[in-house]
């Protein structure tokens, strides 16, 4: 009983919804945050993704409000999809109460939202841009707000967003409670939060362990040119419901086209699509009609989609925080999940940061074999072999014992490879085998023309050598 919803003194109407939603016991963040909010404290809460932070603020807020004309709670979120999702979850939790909730977000006709606001709502969840639009048109009156939530708090207080947030906060009475919720709360956010909060109580569930152990994390070292090959192999092998993250909208579009052309049903989600398209793609993915969603970081935060079995970082995320949020789309609400990160040589420095923050459990693995013929073939990617001067080093199986000198090797490359001297770098003669460098632009040509060719009556071998690792 002590850790039950009942012990939290929850309103019977909300209890009914909790039962209908199938929640049997509160999660740790709910256990900690609900009583504090109920007591009237401001709260900064950090807990892993997928651990029920929405209900942790929605339940006690629902408990405190009565239906009126002016909204009394405002939840600010970074994306349109989250505005809808938070509103849906709050509606479900408040289904047996006389409380109205609506989402306001860009891309949907402002008149539709205006009509809904005019009828009287109690809880508004919205993106900062659209909330400001409504404030300026005087279609949203924030003078009755008593509860302000910044969900995905660190993102909301990021550069770029902060001015919008501060503008909105100025429209809200000082006599209010403020709550910050996120899976990652960097130190700077606590300080910023302190400017707008009254003696906030910290609820820290998992600073040490940002990623739930039920999510298996692996990475592949794979060159940029072979990422598509690796992706197809993973999709063939795992047959997942997957989100594939890329760093740019353009890359998302390219990947969508390529996957479709190879016969994989995939859909793109990014900020340049129309709102109608965004919602359709997400609905199809939620329902399982589309199995592979390719997305920018617009899908990295907060989205709660059932049974996402795999998250793939096609491009490594720009920061460890984003890594934590992206892979938090799988392994939610106690389920198992898997996250695979593709790391090319130019991305290796970012991997170190991830290992130090959230990704401590990440392990290297090999691209799976499928036993079937690959639709996409692996290609030579000399970018993975180059040094900082753009040179690729090869080993050739001949040396002093074969009575060859440096000049013989240089001549061999020049003549057979049809390569000019300036593209040839250092040559180091060994006993049985030697090493030489050529520029990456001619590396493939040199390898093709020398490897398995005949020299003084025998077949020679030429292999590219892995780059010396920077670390």
Q: Under the rule (CB under 6 A), what is the footprint of ligand ADP?
A: 23, 26-27, 30, 49-55, 302, 304, 332-333
- Picked from Mg ion, ligand ADP, none, the partner binding residue 27 (CB below 5 to 8 A depending on kind) is ligand ADP
Task: For ligand ADP, give the closer residue by CB, 52 or 200.
Answer: 52
In whole angstroms, the minimum distance from the beta carbon of 269 to ligand ADP comes to 18
Choose the stretch contacting Mg ion; rule: CB under 5 A; options: 12-20, 300-308, 320-328, 421-429: 300-308
Closest CA relative to residue 312, chosen from 216, 383, 384: 216
From ligand ADP, Mg ion, none, interface partner of 50 (C-beta below 5 to 8 A by class): ligand ADP
Kindly state the smallest distance separating residue 3's Cβ from ligand ADP, in Å. Answer: 11
In the complex with ligand ADP, the residue whose CB is nearer, 51 or 217, is: 51
Reported as type and span, the H/E element at residue 93 is helix 80-93
Distance, in Å, from the CA atom of 194 to the CA atom of 183, rounded to the nearest integer, reads 18
Window contacting Mg ion (CB under 5 A); options: 30-38, 48-56, 63-71, 165-173? 48-56
Is residue 176 a contact point for Mg ion (CB under 5 A)?
no
- The C-alpha atoms of residue 77 and residue 325 are separated, in whole angstroms, by 14
CA-CA distances (angstroms) from residue 414 to 316, 423, 445? 39, 9, 11
Q: Give whichever of 78 and 223 is closer to Mg ion, judged by the CB atom.
A: 78
122 binds, among Mg ion, ligand ADP, none (CB under 5 to 8 A by kind): none
Single residue of 60, 126, 223, 302 touching Mg ion by CB under 5 A: 302
52 binds, among ligand ADP, Mg ion, none (CB under 5 to 8 A by kind): ligand ADP
**d(Cα 192, Cα 159) in Å, to the nearest integer?**
12
CA nearest to 314, candidates 376, 229, 385: 229
Are 264 and 236 a contacting pair, CB within 8 Å?
A: no
Nearest to 247 by CA among 160, 302, 159, 314: 314
Q: Of 304, 86, 297, 306, give the one whose Cα is nearest residue 179.
A: 86
In the complex, minimum distance from the CB of residue 52 to ligand ADP, in angstroms, rounded to a whole number: 3
53 makes contact with Mg ion (CB under 5 A):
yes
Q: Which does 332 bind (CB under 5 to 8 A by kind): ligand ADP, Mg ion, none?
A: ligand ADP
Between CA 93 and CA 22 the distance in angstroms is: 11
Q: Could you give the CA distance from residue 30 to residue 57 in angstroms, rounded to a whole number? A: 8
The CB-of-302 to Mg ion minimum distance in angstroms stands at 4
DSSP strand pairing (454-455 vs 458-459) = antiparallel
| Nearest-approach distance from CB 110 to Mg ion, in angstroms | 26
Binding partner selected for residue 304 from ligand ADP, Mg ion, none, CB under the kind-specific 5 to 8 Å limit: ligand ADP
- Residue 428: which residues within 8 A CB-CB, separation 6 or more? 434, 435, 436
53 versus 80: smaller Cβ distance to Mg ion: 53
CB 14 to ligand ADP: min, Å: 12
Q: Which is nearer to Mg ion, 53 or 221 (CB)?
A: 53
Measured from each CB, the residue nearest to ligand ADP is 52
Distance CA 125, CA 82 (A): 9
Binding partner selected for residue 333 from Mg ion, ligand ADP, none, CB under the kind-specific 5 to 8 Å limit = ligand ADP
For the record, the structure tokens of 263 come out as 């016969």
What residues line the site for Mg ion (CB under 5 A)?
53, 302
């Amino acid at each position: 009983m002590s850790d039950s919803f009942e012990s939290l003194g929850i309103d019977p109407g909300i209890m009914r919804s909790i039962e209908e939603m199938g929640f049997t016991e509160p999660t740790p963040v709910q256990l900690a945050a609900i009583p504090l909010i109920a007591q009237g404290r401001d709260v900064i809460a950090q807990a892993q993704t997928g651990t029920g932070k929405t209900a942790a603020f929605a339940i006690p807020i629902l408990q405190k409000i009565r239906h009126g004309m002016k909204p009394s709670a405002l939840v600010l979120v970074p994306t349109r999809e989250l505005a809808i999702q938070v509103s849906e979850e709050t509606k479900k939790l408040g289904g047996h109460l006389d409380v109205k909730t609506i989402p306001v977000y860009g891309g949907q006709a402002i008149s539709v939202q205006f009509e809904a606001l005019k009828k009287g709502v109690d809880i508004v969840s919205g993106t900062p841009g659209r909330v400001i639009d409504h404030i300026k048109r005087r279609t949203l009156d924030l003078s009755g707000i008593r509860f302000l939530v910044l969900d995905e708090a660190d993102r909301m207080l990021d550069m770029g967003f902060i001015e919008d947030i501060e503008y909105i906060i100025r429209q809200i009475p000082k006599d209010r409670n403020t709550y910050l919720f996120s899976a990652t709360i960097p130190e700077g956010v606590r300080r910023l939060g302190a400017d707008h909060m009254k003696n906030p109580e910290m609820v820290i569930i998992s600073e040490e362990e940002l990623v739930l152990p039920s999510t298996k994390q692996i990475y592949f070292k794979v060159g940029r040119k072979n990422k598509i090959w690796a992706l197809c192999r993973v999709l063939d092998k795992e047959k997942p419901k997957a989100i594939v993250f890329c760093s740019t909208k353009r890359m998302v579009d390219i990947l969508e086209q390529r996957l479709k052309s190879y016969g994989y049903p995939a859909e793109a989600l990014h900020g340049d699509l129309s709102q109608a398209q965004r919602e359709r793609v997400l609905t199809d993915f939620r329902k399982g009609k589309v199995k592979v969603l390719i997305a920018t970081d617009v899908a990295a935060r907060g989205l709660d989609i059932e049974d996402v079995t795999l998250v793939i970082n096609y491009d490594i995320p720009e920061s460890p925080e984003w890594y934590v949020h992206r892979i938090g789309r799988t392994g939610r609400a106690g389920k198992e999940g898997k996250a695979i990160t593709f790391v090319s040589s130019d991305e290796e420095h970012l991997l170190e940061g991830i290992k130090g923050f959230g990704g401590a459990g990440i392990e290297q693995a090999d691209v799976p074999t499928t036993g079937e013929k690959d639709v996409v073939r692996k290609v030579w990617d000399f970018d993975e072999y180059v040094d900082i001067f753009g040179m690729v080093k090869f080993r050739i199986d001949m040396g002093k014992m074969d009575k060859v000198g440096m000049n013989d090797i240089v001549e061999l490359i020049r003549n057979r490879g049809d390569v000019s001297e300036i593209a040839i770098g250092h040559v180091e003669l060994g006993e049985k085998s030697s090493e030489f460098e050529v520029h990456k632009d001619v590396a493939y040509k040199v390898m093709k023309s020398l490897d398995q060719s005949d020299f003084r009556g025998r077949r020679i071998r030429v292999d590219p050598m892995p780059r010396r690792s920077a670390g």
